[in-house]
């Protein structure tokens, strides 16, 4: 008696000798209202090549298909847990269903780009993207007209601090609730008026580091911190290894924060410092970016293990570097951006690092897959072409 095809499949051509065996699901990766399910091909593909892999969710019976692994299933509810079964299809029909995958909980994966400088002047727009889904940015609300400010975030709240407002440097800081569109709200003040800061954060603490002062010594080595959940003024954290007038690259893991483009032994703008975010104190040298003295104004983003640094000046570059956050040492080349830019901004999820804007003035958003070296890919466009934006996300490596 011939075997019956899996439930939901009706085919007069079903043949267990020619249809593929069941594939194997890997560990699903959470997205924003979605999940990505790796699929291992069956050991026996049957009488012809597999042309389609499919996955179905429990609960909800949401289905996704792809010609090759992974399979993305959309339409899921953030905060709910799902498992998936997968199957393969060749010209003879579908395989049997696999066993269930491990569970995964989709989460909001939102990146914000705030304010900046356009071809016509200062800008106050906050944009947002869903990091797991390519496409153009959407208007979130307004910050203030400024650029060369810095951003960091917990899983719920984003902070934007410092920057230049019409020729005047500022210490003011504002916040947004990342899941809810709307204008930024006053949070408190940094200990110094400065622009071109670096920043990093854990799930509870945001650190703003270095930057340019309006007067001598011009390059600040000061680090401040905020408790992200509590409005109020910043508290002194410690000092960078040296003054940094353009340390715009900051990111990290849940324990260690990195600040890129720190002046290192007289070489302008290619040093990397690190701190233990939970413990106040002075920074320690981590290593150096590639590209010699031309790497100030870099953008940075990270998952919990790898930090990505992109672009930089004073001459625009397309360089992308990476470091392993837990291991000190110099950066390694990762690949190239779509073009040479300066003063871009970076956000990240556990999967992607995304860079938005830059000088020459652009609205381009581009991304890399953090675990895989290579050149960036187009993501979409910001609502306004600009550079020197602040950026943050609710799913970066500091929250893992």
Residues 6+ apart with CB under 8 A from 147: 115, 116, 117, 122, 123, 163, 164, 195, 343, 386, 387, 388, 389
CATH code matching the domain that covers 1-107, chosen among 3.90.650.10, 2.60.40.10, 3.30.70.1520, 2.40.50.140? 2.60.40.10
Chain segment 310-341, per-residue pLDDT in tens: 988 777 889 999 999 999 999 999 999 999 99
Within its chain, how far is the Cα of 209 from the centroid? 19
pLDDT band at 296 (very low <50, low <70, confident <90, very high): confident
What is the rounded average pLDDT of the residues 364-382? Answer: 98
pLDDT band at 12 (very low <50, low <70, confident <90, very high): low
Residues 6+ apart with CB under 8 A from 121: 145
pLDDT band at 97 (very low <50, low <70, confident <90, very high): very high
Within its chain, how far is the Cα of 61 from the centroid? 30
Contact 391, 112 (CB under 8 A): yes
Name the DSSP letter for residue 100: P
Residues 279-307 as b or e (16 or more Cβ within 10 Å = b):
eeeebebbbbbbbeebbbbbbbbbbbebb
User: In this model, does residue 2 exceed pLDDT 90?
Assistant: no
Q: Which of 76-90, 162-176, 208-222 has the lowest mean pLDDT?
A: 208-222
Q: Which two tokens stand for residue 125?
A: 């727009």
Q: Is the dihedral of CA 150, 380, 184, 109 positive or negative?
A: negative
Ordered by start, the domain boundaries in the chain are 1-107, 110-399
Chain segment 35-47, per-residue pLDDT in tens: 999 999 999 999 9
CA distance 182 to 157: 12
Secondary element (H or E) of residue 163? none
User: In this model, does residue 209 exceed pLDDT 90?
Assistant: yes
Beta bridge partners of 213: none
Report the range out of 4-8, 293-297, 304-308 with the highest average pLDDT. 304-308
Beta bridge partners of 186: 174
Beta bridge partners of 115: none
In this prediction, residue 5 carries a pLDDT of 44
Chain segment 107-157, per-residue pLDDT in tens: 999 999 999 999 999 999 999 999 999 999 999 999 999 999 999 999 999
Secondary element (H or E) of residue 82? none
Look at residues 279, 298, 377, 303 and name the one whose alpha carbon lies nearest to residue 336.
377
Within its chain, how far is the Cα of 238 from the centroid? 26
CA distance 51 to 41: 11
User: In this model, does residue 208 exceed pLDDT 80?
Assistant: yes
Burial class (CB within 10 angstroms; exposed 0-12, middle 13-18, buried 19+) of 314: middle
What is the rounded average pLDDT of the residues 2-25? Answer: 67
In this prediction, residue 1 carries a pLDDT of 31
Per CATH, which fold does 110-399 belong to?
Neuraminidase (2.120.10)
């Amino acid at each position: 008696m011939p075997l019956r095809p899996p439930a939901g499949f009706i085919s007069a051509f079903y043949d267990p000798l020619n249809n593929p065996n069941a594939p194997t699901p890997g560990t699903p990766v959470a997205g924003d209202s979605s999940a990505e399910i790796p699929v291992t091909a069956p050991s026996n593909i049957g009488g012809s090549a597999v042309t389609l892999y499919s996955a179905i969710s429990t609960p909800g019976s949401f289905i996704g298909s792809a010609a090759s692994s992974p399979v993305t299933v959309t339409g899921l509810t953030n905060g709910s847990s799902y498992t998936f079964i997968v199957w393969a299809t060749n010209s003879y029909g579908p395989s049997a269903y696999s066993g269930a995958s491990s569970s995964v909980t989709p989460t909001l994966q939102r990146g914000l780009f705030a304010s900046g400088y356009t071809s016509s002047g200062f800008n106050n727009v906050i944009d947002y993207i869903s990091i797991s889904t390519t496409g153009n940015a959407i208007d979130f609300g307004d910050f203030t007209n400024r650029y060369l400010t810095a951003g960091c975030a917990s899983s719920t709240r984003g902070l934007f601090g410092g920057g230049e407002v019409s020729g005047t440097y500022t210490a003011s800081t504002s916040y947004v609730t990342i899941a809810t569109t709307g204008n930024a709200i006053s949070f408190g003040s940094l200990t110094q008026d400065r622009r071109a800061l670096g920043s990093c954060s854990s799930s509870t603490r945001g650190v703003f580091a270095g930057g340019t002062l309006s007067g001598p010594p011009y390059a600040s080595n000061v680090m401040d911190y905020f408790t992200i959940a509590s409005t109020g003024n910043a508290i002194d954290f410690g000092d960078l290894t040296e003054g940094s007038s353009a340390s715009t690259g900051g990111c990290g893991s849940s324990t260690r924060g990195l600040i890129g483009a720190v002046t290192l032994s007289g070489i302008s703008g290619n040093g990397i410092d690190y701190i233990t975010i939970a413990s106040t104190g002075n920074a320690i040298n981590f290593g150096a970016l590639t590209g010699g003295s031309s790497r100030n104004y870099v953008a940075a983003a990270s998952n919990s293990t790898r930090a990505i640094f992109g672009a930089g000046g004073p001459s625009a570059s397309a360089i992308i570097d990476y470091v392993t956050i837990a291991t000190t040492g110099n950066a390694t080349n990762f690949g190239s951006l779509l073009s040479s830019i300066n003063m871009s901004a970076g956000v990240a999820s556990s999967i992607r690092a995304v860079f938005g804007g830059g000088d020459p003035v652009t609205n381009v958003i581009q991304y890399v897959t953090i675990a895989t070296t290579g050149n960036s890919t187009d993501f979409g466009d910001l609502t306004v072409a600009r550079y020197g934006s602040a950026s943050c996300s609710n799913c970066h490596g500091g929250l893992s």
